[in-house]
Amino acid sequence: MTFPGVSPASPPSMEKLPIAVTMGEPAGIGGEIACLAWARHAADLPPFVMIDDPDRIAALADVIGQPLNIKTISSAAEAMAIWPEAIPILPVPLAAPVEPGRIDPTNAPAVIASLDRAIALAVNGEVAALVTNPIQKRVLYDAGFSEPGHTEYLAKATHAEGAPVMMLAGPELRVVPVTIHTSLADAARELRREDIVHCAVVTAAALQRDFAIAQPRLAVSALNPHAGEGGALGREESDIIAPAVAEIRARGIEVRGPAAADTLFHPEARQTYDAAICMYHDQALIPLKMLDFHRSVNITLGLPIIRTSPDHGTALDIAGSGQANPSSFIEAVKLASLLAARRQQSAAAA
User: Could you give all domains of the chain from N- to C-terminal order, each with its CATH number?
Assistant: 1-162+302-350 (3.40.718.10), 165-301 (3.40.718.10)
Element of type H or E holding 300: strand 297-301
Average pLDDT, the chain: 91
pLDDT < 70 stretches in the chain: 1-15
pLDDT of residue 132: 97
Rounded distance between C-alpha atoms, residue 98 and residue 28, angstroms: 10
The strand pairing partners of 310, in sequence order, are: 297
- Tell which residue, 276, 271, 239, has the closest CA to residue 260: 276
Q: pLDDT tens across 168-199, in order? A: 999 999 999 999 878 889 989 999 999 999 99
Look up the pTM and report it.
0.88
Compute the CA torsion angle 6, 12, 17, 20 (nearest 10 deg): 0
Q: pLDDT tens across 59-93, in order? A: 999 999 999 999 999 999 999 999 999 999 999 99
CA 159, 164, 170, 173 torsion-angle sign: negative
Q: Are strands 165-169 and 174-177 parallel, antiparallel or unpaired?
A: antiparallel
